[in-house]
Amino acid sequence: MQKRIAPASSVSGGIRLPGDKSISHRYAMIASIASGETRIHNYATGADCHSTLACLRALGVEMESSGTEVAIRGKGLDGLRAAAADLDAGNSGSTIRMLSGILAAQPFSSRIAGDESLARRPMQRIMRPLAEMGARIRAREDKYPPLEIHGSPLRPIDYALPVASAQVKTCVLFAGLFAEGATSVTEPARSRDHTEIALREFGAEVASVGRRITVTGRPSLAARELFVPSDLSSAAFFLAAALLAPGSELTIRGVGLNPTRSALLDFLIGMGAKIRIPEMESRNGELVGDIVVEHSGLRGGVIEGPLTAALIDEIPVLAVLGATTEEGLIVKDAAELRIKETDRIRTVIDNLGRMGVQAEELPDGMIVPGRQQFRAARFDSFGDHRIAMAFAVAALRADGESVIDGAEAASVSFPEFWETLAGIADNG
Ligand code: S3P
């Protein structure tokens, strides 16, 4: 699908965005192995979180889903059954990596596959710890999906994660739920902690001391009524649009502000962004609040070390923003970007180039000099949702109409993106 994007003089209004993708995956998976019926409100609308629901259904979990309301009848820790066919994780790295932790403990075998992009994403990072726990997993070329997971009784481990990855941490903690005793994961840098919060909500014992997280096996997980906040990583595109366009003021309602995700706001504020959060509340252990953002001139900045892990999904749109700042943006320690839905260092630099923006590719990051302008261009999502949305924001500030190929990719996390963007853009 092709989209044409006209420049906008400003963006304004109040918007509500779909439910957080990371939290939705976790609620659905944990609800499936809890006892009783969990009701989830504002479940993410994107294809990724629906891949998770489809996999869980195939494993015998009964559920009703209507729009953003999902009711899941949990099967308990020992109630899943073998799927009749391959499980399809679609484009979703979270689905395959996190669900594998649960599949590894089942008394049956499963095969889980996904689309072309997923088939190129590395899985050794989950295969290693799961093998240490006693699971047998085969993969294409020993590292890529499809995965054949031969479940077995698992033993607890104390695992030091080689890379900061919340998906891998979650996979090991989920597997640990089925092992007798305490399973620990130590992270090299703090990653999003939705799993820890969600497991506690369902009644599991989870201890976090420094960067070491420990879950006690065989908990009784009890169904809950849960509310998913709007996704801050989706809000990032609208924050950027408002920051870029003079005269903009936008309110984004009910956004998840978990401190392991909100480094984005601190980073933007540190560069000079006018961002306010009038009030915050805690729902199901997650912070939620409205964000008010106004057009602001930004200084530019450096993303490196633990900050890179905290901003990993937002780097494409920050690169767009960086090109317009005073001093530009430097991104380092971001080799992980190369193994996302696309090689996001390559795809960002490619599209920036098409829009006449200079940037230098580094092995583990990029340098985007500041004070640049976007030229109207034809660019590509390369099938990656965050690339499609990041460059739609750039196109709003271009000197004419731009065209994006593969615009449908946005549906992976945000099917309503184009409509929401059109609703706030002032093209006058
Ligand atoms: C996610 C973790 C991150 C992130 C992804 C969602 C999660 O991936 O990029 O979009 O929900 O745990 P990694 O764990 O590979 O860093």
Read off the pLDDT of residues 41-76 as tens digits, 9 standing for 90 and up. 999 999 999 999 999 999 999 999 999 999 999 999
pLDDT value at residue 408: 98
In 315-373, which residue ranges form alpha helices assigned H by DSSP?
A: 315-322, 344-354
pLDDT value at residue 380: 98
Q: Does domain 2-19+229-426 have CATH number 2.70.180.20?
A: no
Per the CB < 8 A criterion, the answer to whether 391 and 377 are in contact is no
pLDDT value at residue 273: 98
pLDDT tens digits, 393-422: 999 999 999 999 999 999 999 999 999 999
pLDDT value at residue 24: 98
Question: Which ligand 1 atom lies nearest to the CA of residue 309?
Answer: 16
Domain boundaries, the chain: 2-19+229-426, 21-215
Average pLDDT over residues 257-263: 97
Nearest CA to ligand 1 atom 13: 165
Q: What confidence tier does 210 reach under pLDDT thresholds 50, 70, 90?
A: very high
Q: Ligand 1 test: best mutation among 52, 167, 386, most atoms within 8 Å of CB?
A: 167
List the catalytic residues: 313
SS3 content of the chain, % helix, strand, coil (to 5): 35, 30, 40
pLDDT value at residue 184: 98
Q: What confidence tier does 368 reach under pLDDT thresholds 50, 70, 90?
A: very high
Using alpha carbons only, give the angle 392, 393, 399 rounded to the nearest 5 degrees.
90
Q: CA 226, CA 24: separation in Å to the nearest integer? A: 10
Question: Which ligand 1 atom lies nearest to the CA of residue 195?
Answer: 12
pLDDT value at residue 81: 98
DSSP string, 96-151: HHHHHHHHTTSSSEEEEE--TTGGGS--HHHHHHHHHHT-EEEEETTTEEEEEEE-
**What's domain 21-215's architecture?**
Alpha-beta prism (3.65)
pLDDT value at residue 142: 97
Nearest CA to ligand 1 atom 11: 22
Q: Which two tokens stand for residue 196?
A: 């820890």
Q: How far is the CA of 164 from the centre of ligand 1 (A)?
A: 9
Strand partners, 184: 158, 214
Per the CB < 8 A criterion, the answer to whether 105 and 179 are in contact is yes
Nearest CA to ligand 1 atom 15: 165
Question: Which ligand 1 atom lies nearest to the CA of residue 167?
Answer: 14
pLDDT value at residue 229: 98
Looking from the CA of 209 toward its CB, the CA atoms found within 13 Å total 4
Per the CB < 8 A criterion, the answer to whether 74 and 223 are in contact is yes
Q: CA 154, CA 180: separation in Å to the nearest integer? A: 8
Question: Which ligand 1 atom lies nearest to the CA of residue 192?
Answer: 12
pLDDT value at residue 369: 98
pLDDT value at residue 295: 98
Question: Which ligand 1 atom lies nearest to the CA of residue 312?
Answer: 9
Q: Which two tokens stand for residue 361?
A: 């590719």
Q: What confidence tier does 16 reach under pLDDT thresholds 50, 70, 90?
A: very high
Q: What confidence tier does 427 reach under pLDDT thresholds 50, 70, 90?
A: confident
pLDDT value at residue 37: 98
Q: How far is the CA of 182 from the centre of ligand 1 (A)?
A: 24
Average pLDDT over residues 103-129: 98
Nearest CA to ligand 1 atom 4: 313
- Average pLDDT of the chain is 98
Cβ within 8 Å of residue 24, ≥6 positions away: 40, 43, 44, 49, 52, 228
Q: How far is the CA of 168 from the centre of ligand 1 (A)?
A: 9
Average pLDDT over residues 259-281: 98
Q: How far is the CA of 193 from the centre of ligand 1 (A)?
A: 11
Q: How far is the CA of 94 from the centre of ligand 1 (A)?
A: 7
Q: Ligand 1 test: best mutation among 312, 333, 342, 389, most atoms within 8 Å of CB?
A: 312
Nearest CA to ligand 1 atom 9: 313
pLDDT tens digits, 74-86: 999 999 999 999 9
> Is the pLDDT confidence value at 120 over 90?
yes
Q: CA 389, CA 315: separation in Å to the nearest integer? A: 12
pLDDT tens digits, 313-349: 999 999 999 999 999 999 999 999 999 999 999 999 9
> Is the pLDDT confidence value at 428 over 90?
no
